[in-house]
Amino acid sequence: MTDDLVLNNGVTMPALGLGVFQSPPEETAAAVETALNLGYRHIDTAAAYGNEREVGEGLRRAGVARDEVFLETKVWVSDFGYDETLHAFDKATGKLGVDRLDLLILHQPATDRFDRTIAAYQALEKLLADGKVRAIGVSNFMRHHLDDLLAATTVVPAVNQIELHPYFTQPDVQKADAEHGILTQAWSPIGGITFYPGWGEERKNVLQDQVIAEIAKSHDKTPAQVMLRWHLQEGRSAIPKSTNPGRIAENFAVFDFDLTTEQLSAINALDRGIRNGPDPDVPRTEMFDRVIPEA
């Protein structure tokens, strides 16, 4: 059994999903199939991950009815713009082999070309109005990006997917999301993603944290399970990535225990304010060079 969250447009989304960022295409179909067989009903992918086709293959292999699975994907910045983003929907659904998406989000703000971000979001609004997607949202938006978007568009995003694990909790973004009725979804929810080889001491792996290890021991659970439970009890969605069948199962065995208020507070106190991933406010022109292939 999973926890469900109700989005701001009334659509229900399973809180816990399988993430596939950095899942090699050749391992992705098996990971998705394994997850669905274990009871996962939410998969999060992205055009930029290069594995939408394999996510679709995993869906078909598992044989779970399409309307039982919540399918989320993201439009990459090189496809921002009104017509480009409408076409990005066709590319995504073509690769996934589905007619409709449950959630389509902008992968990140194009901070130095925000007009294109707005136009992309307006295309999402059109897709929503046409019934091609059940909900729309954003990713890696900070408070000021949300403010700028909301000032220029009509539909409040259902979801803002941001980097969020015990060492980086982004309280201001979470607050902004809550103020607008936007659900916060955690990427890298157990802090496991490695973006930069040779990280310094400041980017310690939260999976090794002592406070979390002790809480895990007290529940006879693992640190990853404690962190996922923390997200769920804080009312967030989380999409842990794994291609390892044992860890895919481990990450789903989080519905049979509760953290205490003190334990939640102890985890919240671990925040160091240091990102593992890129800063959404730093323009990276190379993002626009990445061409998302046709379906």
Token output for 71:
């399918």
The answer to whether 30 contacts ligand A2P (rule: CB under 6 A) is no
The three-point CA angle 51-56-59 to 5° equals 130
Token output for 269:
């106190």
The answer to whether 241 contacts ligand A2P (rule: CB under 6 A) is yes
Q: Which of 32, 191, 221, 263 binds ligand A2P (CB under 6 A)?
A: 191
Tokens 């399970």, located at residue: 225
Length of the chain: 295
Q: Does the annotation mark 167 as catalytic?
A: no
Distance CA 85, CA 87 (A): 5
The answer to whether 19 contacts ligand A2P (rule: CB under 6 A) is yes
Kindly calculate the radius of gyration of the chain based on its CA atoms and give it in whole angstroms. 18
First CA to last CA across the chain, in angstroms?
34
The answer to whether 251 contacts ligand A2P (rule: CB under 6 A) is yes
The answer to whether 77 contacts ligand A2P (rule: CB under 6 A) is no
Give the number of residues in contact with ligand A2P, rule: CB under 6 A: 18
Which among 57-65, 88-96, 141-149, 244-252 is the span making contact with ligand A2P, rule CB under 6 A? 244-252
Nearer residue to ligand A2P within complex by CB, 176 or 238: 238
Least distance between ligand A2P and beta carbon 207 (Å): 5
Is 87 annotated as contributing to ligand binding? Answer: no
Residue 169, phi then psi, degrees to nearest 5: -105, -5
Nearer residue to ligand A2P within complex by CB, 155 or 207: 207
**Residues at the annotated binding site for substrate?**
107
